[in-house]
Chains A and B, each alone.
Chain A
Amino acid sequence: MSKQLGFLLDSEKCVGCRGCEMACKNEYQSDPTPRWRQVFQLNEDWYSLPTRMFFSMACNHCAEPQCLKVCPVEAYTKRDDGIVVHNHDRCIGCRLCTMACPYDRPQFNPAKGKVEKCNLCYQRIDQGLKPACVAACIPGALQLVEINNQLDQKTGILKTLPGLPSRTITNPSIRFIGPKQGKQIRRD
């Protein structure tokens, strides 16, 4: 692998609008379920003060993808740029990958009898475009980045957020900027 592409999610900028979710669905005209990209709300109790905090997650294109490992038909391949691509045509719908992924990103579509997941818009990337979700993010919370040491050394770059599975299982290619709590004058 010459590089590892991944997402950078700035939870401080994210307002949970789901524009990224909808842009993804619109790009692929996918069925209402499954949701390839999904917005999650962070539990307010995990931070010093309650606020509405969100992050958005699609496939993490992990460095050690469990989905790829367990798939009996070799439907998954990892590209040179790190993107883990799911070949829809090869999939036989055994759902083992859905059991293996700690983030529940590959999801079974009963209507098609196959699993679906985010492929990091590799067709768009190959044309020099940004993924549909990144292009659609108005507050600028979602970005496509190269996951490397240079990025990890920048201040404020987090490797995980509260409520996420341990990174050691699959080494996900996603980074975060954490939400901040300002000063609050409260009535409780």
Chain B
Amino acid sequence: MGTIAQKILELKKRYGSTLPICFDKYSGNFGILHYGADGTMSSIGYTTRALGTPCWPAGIDAQTYDFGTLYSSDPEDMVNANYLILWGQNAAWTAVHSLPFINQARERGTKLVVIDPVLSSTASKADFYVQINPSTDGALALGMARYILDNNWVDWDYARANSVGFDEWIDYLKKNVTLDWAAEKTGVPLDIIKEIAREYATSKPASMWVGYGMQRHTNGGQNVRIIDALGVMTGNIGKSGGGVNYGHLETWGFNYNAMTNPAPKGSKGFIGPDGKEGDRNINMNNFAHDVMAQQEPPVKMLWLACRNPGSQDPDTSAIEKMFASMEFVVTVDSFFNKTVQMSDLVLPSTTHFENIDVNAGYWHYWVGINQIAIQPMFESKSDVEIAMLLSQKMNALESGSCTFPTRGTPEEWLAKEFNPGIYKLLGISDWKELISSPRKAKMPPASWSDGKFRTPSKKIEIHSDLAQKNGLPPLPIWVEEMKAPDKYPIRLITSHPQHGLHSQFQNLDWMMVANPEPKLEIHPKLAAQYGINEGDPVKVFNDLGSITLKAHLTRTTSPNVIVAYEAWYKDSNYNVNYTVKAIPSDMGKQATGNNGLAFHDNFVMIQKA
């Protein structure tokens, strides 16, 4: 702690502010008390912050433009769907708790349609699997929309009463969209587009689950907007068993007490575009480059918590360079991963077994207490405890240099996160009631069932002025997908792994035995072209970098798409991100501060290693 405190104060003295300290935190653990890490930063002054989210911002913005915010139905409501489309979504691997509800609907006869460039585990369960050309989902939706329009399966009443710009979009469909074009673009046969369109439009209600993988393209946000419009046109918004469901943040209205601390008196900050003094924001999705590019003052120190840039950020080589150029890196983590390897000081963090916390979800509607199961082992501490200790040390060296409280039991800190709003939403009067069991938020099962959209016009904005203001098309029109360069004709999709949560869990001993090494999923036709047999090592490369891993021949992918799952294997330097460029997706700035990442627009070449 002393070392850290001294370094912070030294930098402050050298540069006149704490802006040389950069903070990067994300999804390692979304328990509310982990925002104590953010609190650490705000309590020492104004710092440089990684702003944005790598996962899902394009889709968030799309739903923000269309509905005012992202707000999905209760996933348990899927049992009421009479038709279910999972679009670029792999529930079997990423949301297995929702499967029983999907299965329940299917037992009633509901058809499950899965649209995905890769025949995932979820697609394996589908009644109907469509292997779409990657990044062309919007074209499929437009083709469907055109067919629905031509057959007059449109819910004109709902659309006209609840949206603005609908007729403008219908005009666009008539003038610019043909089924032939859609079939050609997506690789989906004409009669199939018609079949899905008819079934979706005429099964009432029909639900669509839009996955985050689907929007990890340069036109990802726009594709989500088109799918939203499809939902509006068929009157499936706001209905039980319907919806265009992406995610929500309705159950996150905590106080964020651990996070909010005033900057010490006299702190110098960054003058933002609005003229206010505060933190300096850089793009989380272009982290390495942004960090190294900062001037006046430059970034000299990093504080990393709940984040593993060494494993998860695109362009790993640049990340490595960035680490090397830092004077001091503090990382809070539980495992000796690549980020920790490249850091100067590691603070062992408590695992969720060793601290108390409250957790909400961004898909389901439940809120629960994470009880402490064992006392923190060895020297591990929670983010809040780390903050308190640092504050003590800093104030001992320089009085008033840190405003983070230095006292408080875990329960006291937890209690301070709750407010009447949360209590009402959960139907409790004390957070301790959550110890007996999690509570489900008292919300209607179908999102937007009250028709109270949160857009400027208070209606669904098929025509969005806000989008236009941000330099985007106001309507949900087709935007061309990124094409493969000649030199790198093969698309590498780096989906979410089955046995890990990004760089967590795959590294555990039991998991390493069950899944010892990464495999490259490659179609036999493609493999034959390069003389690759089952189990052969393959080098996957582009102008950014390369990875080498064993091939697994499978027809669950297509001849020009290879799949390697992003994960951290214990003690391994395998990282798909050596080949992933920080290509921005089209949306994200509006609601999350920065555009997202087109992870799946990664083009490579392969050779037998």
Contacts and interface: CB of A to CB of B under 8 A. Distances in A.
B96 A138 contact: yes
A39 B514 CA distance: 8
A53 B124 contact: yes
A164 B251 CA distance: 48
Nearest to A21: B514
Interface string B185-223: 001110010000000000000000000000000000000
B7 interface: no
A35 interface: yes
Nearest to B196: A185
B259 to A, nearest CB: 33
Interface residues of B, number: 42
Interface in A27-68: 32-33, 35, 38-39, 44, 50-53
B462 interface: no
Contacts of B126: 182
Given A44-B554, A185-B192, A186-B558, A15 B99 contact: yes
Given A44-B554, A52-B124, A187-B187, A139 B514 contact: no
Interface in B545-584: 554-556, 558-559
B131 A33 contact: no
Contacts of A52: 119-121, 124, 556
A26 B57 CA distance: 37
Contacts of A13: 103
B373 interface: no
A185 B555 contact: no
Contact of B97 (A25, A39, A138, A188): A138
A138 B129 contact: no
Contacts, number: 96
Nearest to A181: B124
A18 B510 CA distance: 10
A16 B122 CA distance: 11
B125 interface: yes
Contact of A50 (B187, B514, B525, B554): B554
A18 B499 contact: yes
Contacts of A187: 131, 133, 187, 558-559
A12 interface: yes
A17 interface: yes
Contact of B99 (A32, A139, A179): A139
B374 interface: no
B100 A50 contact: no
A25 B510 CA distance: 8
A184 B131 contact: yes
A138 B99 contact: yes
Contacts of B127: 182-183
A15 B510 contact: no
Interface in B107-126: 112, 119-126
B233 interface: no
Nearest to B191: A185
A123 to B, nearest CB: 21
B93 A44 contact: no
9 contacts: A17-B498, A19-B96, A50-B119, A52-B124, A138-B97, A139-B92, A184-B131, A185-B128, A188-B523
Interface of B: 92-93, 96-97, 99-100, 103, 112, 119-131, 133, 187-189, 192, 498-499, 509-515, 523, 525, 554-556, 558-559
